[in-house]
Chains A and B, each alone.
Chain A
C-alpha cells in the first residue's frame, strides 16, 4: 500500500527536481565486480563500471547485446547482491499503459457508478479515482515500494516506439503521474535496468536518459570462469576446452553464433555424458545443443573435423 505522503494531488503544487540519490550501494568498481562474483555473476571491467556509475548517478542502465549474454541475469544478480526486491516488466508487442504502469479497475468503477446513481457526479468521481480503484502494474509498483528495488524492464525493443514514451517519466524523474490522482514519487531511487536484443533502434529520448552498456560475447577467460561457476562438477580442463571451442566457432560466419547460455547448456550436457575430453567426433554429436540451425551445425562439424571447405 502506498503511504499517503508520496502522492500529490494534481492541483497541488508539484515540485519537480532531480531525485536525490540515497546512500551509495557500492564502494568502488572493484567492489561491484567482486560482489557480483560472489553471487555467481562474472562481470568484466565494463559491466562493473557501468553498474557502479548507475548507482552513483542514479541513472537507469540500458543494456544491449546479442541474446543469451547475461543481460537479464545481470539485473537479477544485482538485486541479489544488494538484497533488493526484483520487479520485472517483461515487454512484448502490444504492451500498453494499463499493463506497464497502472490501470483503473473499471469493472469495479462501473459497479460503483451504478450503485451511486443518485449521487452527485463530482462526489462519485472523487471516489472512483481513488487508490482503492487503482491496480498497480510493475512500474508503479517499483516506484511505490518502500523497500529497495531493482527494476528490470526486459526486452524493451519489443514494444512499439510510441509505447516507449510511457517509460520516460519514470526513467528521468522516478515518478508516475496519474491524471485523476496526482503524482506518485519514489521514496527510494530504484536501480533500473532496461535490456534490448537490438531488434530495433530505440528512441533518442530513451537513450539520452540512460547509461549505455553493450554486453558482447565474453572473452575466453571470462567465459571459462562463467562455465566453472555455473556448471557444477566440471573439470578445469573440460571448461577450458569448451570455452576454446566456442571461441573458435564464433569466428565462423554462422547464422547464429553460440551464446553464453548455449555454451553452458553444452558444457552441462558433456558433464552428464561423462565426457572428459572433447574430440571432433564428440563435438559433432552434441553440436545441436550449441547451434540452432542445421546449416550451422554442418558447417561447424566440418570445420572442427578439419575438412577443407570448398568456397
Chain B
C-alpha cells in the first residue's frame, strides 16, 4: 500500500503539485486511520494531507481516481468487454438496470433477452428515464453501457480520454434529451404524483401547464445537474477502462492536467479558459495584498514609542533597540500598450486586469489598446470596483480598427507617439504587450527607441514561446533592441510575477 502511495505522490509532483516529505509522511499516517474501502473518506484524508490549495484539487481528483478509486476486483473489466466492441455487457450491469427499472416503462427486457445488446433506442429510453427519475445507480449503469456501445475503445490505442468522451456524448445527443425532459415535465406536472422542483405551476386547459420563467429556469437547472452527473459517470467509466488497459502510471501521465496558473494562455482550451478566468480574480487580489504589505514594510519610519518601551524590558528598561513605524515609498507610473487582436487578446485582457487590480500600487496607470488603430481605455477603469467589468467594455467599445483589423504595430505605435508621446516622463514605466506579429507592415521601431529615451523603463511582454520569436511575421527583435528587457510571458504565474516586480 505504501508503494502505491509513493507512486501516487510522485505523480502528483509530476503534475506540478508540490508535496513535501512531511506531507508524504502525514498521508501515510492518514492511511492507517481510514479504511481503504472507504474511497471517498480516503480521498479527503489524503487530499487534506497532500493538497494545500483549492486550485490544485482538480488535478488531485483526477489522479486519485486513477490511482485509487479504480483499483480492486469490482473494477476489473471482463475480457469480452474490451474485445467485443461493447455489445456484450457484464452481468452486474444488467442486474443493475433490471433492478432499477422505473416500473413506469412497458416492462421491457424480462429474462435473458435484455442482456443481448440493447438497441440505441432502448438505451436512449433508459437514459431518459434515469435522468427523469434522478436515479443515481441507473444513471451510472447507463453511463457504462453508453461507453461500451459508443466510445469505440480499443485496447492499446494511444488516444486520450477526451476523444472517447466526445464520441460517447455525440451519440447520446443530450441537448435533445434536455428539451424532451422539459417538455414532458410540463405534461407530468399535471398528474398529482409528479414532484416538480419549482412552485406549483398552473394547469392550463389542455392538460399542459405553462411554467413561469422562474419555474422553467429551476427545472432546467435541475435536469442540467443530472446531465452533468451523467457526464461525470461517463468520464469515470472511460478512465476505468483506460486504467484497465494501460495501467495507472501510464494513464496518469497521459491524462495529466496543468494547474490553472501554468496553462499556456495562447493555447488554452475553452474549459481551461474558464478555469483561468476563475483563477485570475483571487490571483490579482493576493498580489494586491502582497504588494501593499511589501510597500509598508519597505523602509523604516518614525519611532514607535510603545513598541520600543515594551522591547526594552528584557534589557531592564533600557531602550537599547529602537522600533520604527513604516512610511510609504514613491510609487511608479505605468503606461500599458497592448495588442488586443485575436491570438493575443486573452493575454492582453489578463494583463490589463492584473495591472488595474493593483493600480493603487502606482501613482498613475494609463492603458492603451490597439489592433491597427489605437485607443486609450483608461477611462473604462475609473470608478469600477471590478476590473473585469472594464475589460469587458474594452472588448465591445474600444476603437481599435483603422483599416482592416489586422495587427499593425507600426501604425499603432506611430499614432501613440504623435498623440501621447509628450506625456511619457522619466517616472513612467512603459509596458508593451503582444506577439509582434506585424503582418509585414513597417515596424516603426524608432518609436520604441524614442520611448526608451524618455521613459524610466520600457518592457516588452511576449506571450509566444521564445522559439517562435522572429519567425514568420514576428519582429519582436526589432523592437526588443530598444527595450530594457523582453520577457517571455506565457502563463498567469509568469505574468503575476512580472507585474509584481513592477510595483
Check A283 against B214 for contact (C-beta < 8 Å): yes
Within 8 A of A (CB), among B38-71: 38, 40-41, 44-45, 47-49, 51-54, 57
Q: Given the interface contacts A113-B317, A241-B198, does A57 sit within 8 Å of B217 by beta carbon?
A: no
Interface size class of A (residues with CB under 8 A): 35 or more
Pair B52/A207 contact, Cβ less than 8 Å: yes
Contact A45-B41, Cβ < 8 Å, known A57-B33, A279-B199:
yes
Q: How far is the CA of A97 from the CA of B428 in the complex (A)?
A: 40
CA distance A65 to B57 in the complex (A): 13
The docked-state distance in angstroms from the alpha carbon of A248 to that of B213 is 13
Which residues of the partner chain A approach B222 to less than 8 Å between Cβ atoms?
A: 244
The answer to whether A277 and B199 touch (CB under 8 A), given A57-B33, A106-B309, A125-B316, is: yes
For A62, give its contact among B23, B30, B47, B52 (CB under 8 Å). Answer: B52
Q: Is the CB of A104 within 8 A of B20?
A: no
Residue of A59, A207, A244 near B221 (CB, 8 A) is: A244
User: Is B34 a contact partner of A208 (Cβ separation < 8 A)?
Assistant: no
| Other-chain residue from B23, B44, B309, B385 in contact with A45 (beta carbon distance below 8 A) | B44
Q: Is the CB of A214 within 8 A of B385?
A: no
Asked whether A240 lies within 8 Å of B48 as measured between CB atoms, the reply is no
> Chain A residues with Cβ under 8 A from B217's Cβ?
248, 303-304, 306
Note all chain B residues with C-beta closer than 8 A to A39.
Answer: none
Q: Mark A53-82, 1 if CB is under 8 A from B, else 0.
A: 100110101101100000000000000000
Q: Given A50-B48, A106-B309, does the pair A306, B216 have CB atoms closer than 8 Å?
A: yes
Count of chain B residues near A, Cβ 8 A: 51
Q: In the assembled complex, which residues on chain A have CB atoms less than 8 Å from the CB atom of B29?
A: 57
Beyond A45-B44, A46-B44, A280-B213, is A121–B316 a contact (Cβ under 8 Å)?
A: yes
Interface 9-residue window, one of B95-103, B285-293, B398-406, B412-420: B285-293
Q: Are B197 and A214 in contact (CB under 8 A)?
A: no
Is A230 interfacial (CB-CB < 8 Å)?
Answer: no
- A contact patch SS: helix
A128 to B315, CA, bound (A): 12
Known: A57-B26, A125-B316, A311-B396. A212 touches B221 (CB 8 A): no
Q: Are A211 and B48 in contact (CB under 8 A)?
A: yes
- The answer on a CB contact under 8 Å between A245 and B48 is no
Query: A201 within 8 Å of B by Cβ?
Result: yes
Query: Which residue in B41, B49, B198, B218 is a CB contact (below 8 Å) of A29?
Result: B41
8 A Cβ contacts from A224-280 to B: 237, 240-241, 244-245, 247-248, 251, 255, 277-280
Is A182 part of the binding interface, using a Cβ–Cβ cutoff of 8 Å?
no
Whether the pair B386, A49 counts as a contact (CB closer than 8 A) is no
Cβ–Cβ contact A212 & B44, under 8 A? no
Are B199 and A198 in contact, CB atoms less than 8 angstroms apart? Answer: no
CB distance from A173 to the nearest CB of B (A): 14
Instruction: Check if B152 is an interface residue, CB within 8 A of chain A.
Output: no
Q: Contacts A98-B310, A125-B316 known; A244 to B41 CB distance under 8 Å?
A: no
Would you give 27 A-B contacts (Cβ < 8 Å), ordered by A? A46-B44, A49-B40, A57-B26, A61-B48, A103-B310, A106-B310, A109-B313, A109-B317, A124-B316, A162-B297, A199-B289, A200-B286, A204-B20, A210-B52, A211-B48, A220-B225, A241-B198, A241-B218, A244-B218, A247-B221, A248-B217, A248-B218, A277-B199, A278-B199, A280-B213, A303-B217, A306-B214
Extra contacts besides A49-B34, A53-B33 (14): CB < 8 Å:
A29-B41, A53-B34, A57-B30, A57-B33, A103-B310, A113-B316, A113-B317, A161-B293, A200-B289, A201-B290, A210-B52, A212-B48, A214-B57, A279-B199
